[in-house]
């Protein structure tokens, strides 16, 4: 068993016993102590022992007590409603929050699609005006023609995904007569699409995309039963092929009627709105501030042949639009 070490003082020279001087006896020489492993006289040897442990323990306790005095512990402060309100007010004062229109556009964005119909060019004044606008939007001359072997864009419009299997709502006049239909999703995925349903009385078409992007998000549809003039709305689409573009306004009327410039068709029960819309917005969603689809933009009112927005647009209520896909939501 290992013996505990201890602090041992230097050995002292043995004093002569009483009467030793008379007999001539002397203390053992210092060399004998050295031979036995003892420290020489006058040079103490340090060995940690019980005394040193007690000193270190006392020092540790003193330091711990000092630390506790310098850094006292406190119980955490319980948050009150006043603290929370102050933090919210501080955030509102120091951070710039997105506008309601920006939040609405961000919400509907992943469900938005660009719709292009290819085929023989329409020979109407409105179609020619739209083509000039598309050319200008692409940085081309207004009367520029398509390059050889390049498919001719018959019309450009907008669509919105209403089912995540690739079911898309748009306007019938965007895709009518097209030999090929191409849709471009929010993430850039391009796909051919086919017309699977139509509702001519509301100028609506249902498309089915053949290729889908990963994690396709369908739009949320919202009943228009509680919609009122003055409610804020946002129109999102591709006016003249430029986009996605966002415009904001309000509902300016309900249950409106509209007759096409050629007088061939009259639409009823429309939502009137003043968010800017132009050719290319057709088929796009009209949404509320939560990004929920209220209707499908279908027409603008303009007494001239310029086909530009003067402040009155129309949208088919989503109740009618969804029924075109065979699934009335409300």
What is the reported pLDDT for 233?
98
What is the reported pLDDT for 101?
95
Distance of alpha carbon 148 from alpha carbon 260, whole angstroms: 34
What is the reported pLDDT for 234?
98
Distance of alpha carbon 123 from alpha carbon 280, whole angstroms: 17
Distance of alpha carbon 216 from alpha carbon 117, whole angstroms: 22
**Is 173 tagged catalytic?**
yes
What is the reported pLDDT for 162?
94
Return the number of other C-beta atoms located less than 10 Å from residue 309's C-beta.
19
Residues in CB range of 80: below 8 A, 6 or more apart? none
Distance of alpha carbon 203 from alpha carbon 255, whole angstroms: 16
Helix (H) or strand (E) holding 127: helix 125-137
Task: Label residues 255-282 b or e (16+ Cβ within 10 Å = b).
Answer: ebebeeeeeeeebeebbbbbbbbbbbbb
pTM for this prediction:
0.68
249 in Cβ contact with 304 (< 8 Å): no
Catalytic hit among 111, 191, 203, 245: 203
**Is 83 tagged catalytic?**
no
Task: Label residues 228-246 b or e (16+ Cβ within 10 Å = b).
Answer: eeebbbbbbbbbbbbbbbb
Catalytic hit among 191, 245, 252, 282: 282
Task: Label residues 54-70 b or e (16+ Cβ within 10 Å = b).
Answer: eeeeeeeeeeeeeeeee
Distance of alpha carbon 292 from alpha carbon 157, whole angstroms: 20
Taking each continuous run of H as one helix and of E as one strand, the counts in the chain are 8, 12
Which of 239, 275, 218, 268 has the alpha carbon at shortest distance from 100? 275
**Is 35 tagged catalytic?**
no
Place of tokens 């050995």: 11
Tens-place pLDDT, residues 231-290:
999 999 999 889 899 999 999 999 999 987 665 778 999 999 999 999 899 999 999 999
Positions in the chain short of pLDDT 50: 1-46
What is the reported pLDDT for 125?
61
For 114, which DSSP code? E
């Amino acid at each position: 068993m290992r013996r505990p070490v201890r602090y041992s003082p230097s050995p002292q020279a043995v004093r002569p016993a009483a009467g030793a001087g008379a007999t001539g006896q002397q203390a053992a020489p210092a060399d004998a102590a050295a031979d036995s492993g003892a420290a020489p006289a006058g040079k103490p040897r340090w060995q940690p022992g019980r005394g040193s442990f007690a000193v270190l323990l006392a020092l540790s306790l003193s330091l711990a007590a000092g630390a506790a005095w310098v850094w006292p512990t406190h119980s955490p402060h319980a948050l009150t409603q006043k603290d929370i309100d102050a933090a919210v007010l501080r955030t509102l004062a120091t951070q710039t929050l997105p506008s309601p229109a920006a939040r609405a556009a961000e919400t509907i964005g992943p469900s938005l699609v660009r719709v292009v119909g290819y085929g023989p060019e329409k020979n109407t004044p409105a179609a020619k005006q739209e083509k000039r606008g598309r050319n200008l939007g692409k940085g081309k001359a207004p009367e520029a023609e398509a390059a050889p072997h390049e498919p001719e864009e018959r019309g450009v419009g907008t669509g919105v995904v209403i089912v995540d299997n690739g079911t898309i709502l748009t306007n019938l006049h965007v895709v009518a007569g097209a030999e090929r239909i191409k849709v471009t999703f929010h993430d850039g995925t391009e796909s051919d699409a086919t017309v699977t349903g139509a509702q001519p009385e509301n100028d609506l078409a249902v498309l089915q995309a053949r290729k889908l992007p990963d994690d396709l998000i369908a739009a949320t549809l919202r009943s228009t039963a509680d919609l009122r003039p003055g409610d804020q709305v946002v129109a999102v689409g591709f006016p003249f092929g430029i986009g996605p573009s966002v415009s904001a306004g309000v509902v300016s009327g309900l249950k409106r009627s509209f007759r096409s410039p050629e007088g061939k068709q009259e639409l009823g029960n429309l939502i009137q709105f003043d968010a800017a819309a132009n050719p290319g917005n057709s088929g796009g969603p009209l949404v509320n501030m939560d990004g929920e689809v209220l209707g499908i933009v279908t027409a603008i009112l303009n007494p001239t042949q310029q086909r530009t927005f003067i402040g009155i647009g129309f949208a088919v209520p989503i109740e009618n639009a969804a029924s075109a896909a065979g699934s009335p939501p409300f």
